[in-house]
Amino acid sequence: MEEQTIRLQKFLSERGFGSRRGVVTSIEAGRVRVNGETVSERGARIVPGADAVEVDGVVVATEKPRSRTIIMYKPRGYICSRSSAQGKTIYDLLPPELFQLRPVGRLDKDSEGLLLLSNDGELIECLTHPRFQQSKIYRVTVSGKVSPQVLARLRSRMVIDGYRIHPVGIVDVTAQADADRRVLEFTLKEGRNRQIRKMCAVVKLRVHRLVRVGIRGIPSTGQTTGKWRELTAAEESQLKGRADA
């Protein structure tokens, strides 16, 4: 009887190594080995249990792990990486049994707020692929001239790093008049590298604090800095739902 094969990217995604799109990038970058040989073409197939698979030298377990997703409040000053070469990492805040979970999207070292970590390939795909347009909300404290013209520019399809971004929702939510600093709420349905900071730089606003306060309707209310909790079944269902209308 012929052994059943599976696409390599599906195998890796089901074991928490990212969305299928992200896994394909890893394969094409030469980071995946099968039976000791580097595999760099998409569409490769393997036999689970018979073929030995490694990613960055880490052996991939044959059995699917239990699906698990947590939500944490990342403090400022921590990086979303397992490597401590650049300082403290989010894994310093987690118990060893959660080290296999991967960040679903990232917050840079100087940013804080809600962060999901998961080994659920389907959930990772829903939250990272542009077609789902998952909304994420940020509160950003800035200084500089926040005029109607500046707000209109921020809401426009600005060009960042040669890419024309999707429209961004911007609301001034400053609690009281402040001559020096304002608080702007950004709603993004895509998340490019340091996008908000680069947008603010274009209109000459200085960012003092950047906090992710919501991910597709899940607010930061009740989250304690540096702490984590399991995602509820209702929240997971909400995240895997249809894209925002």
Residues assigned a catalytic role: 108
Count of all residues that appear for the chain in the document: 245
Q: How far is CA 219 from CA 69, 111, 158, 235, in A?
A: 16, 16, 27, 11
Q: How far apart are CA 81 and CA 134, in angstroms?
A: 23
Q: 115 - beta bridge partners?
A: 72
Q: Beta strands 206-215 and 112-118: pairing type?
A: parallel
Residue 171 CB partners (closer than 8 Å, separation 6+): 184, 185
29 neighbors 48 (Cβ within 8 angstroms): no
Phi (first) and psi of residue 134, to 5 degrees: -70, 130
Distance CA 238, CA 216 (A): 8
In angstroms, how far is the first alpha carbon of the chain from the final one? 48
Q: Count of alpha carbons within 13 Å of 131, Cβ hemisphere only?
A: 3
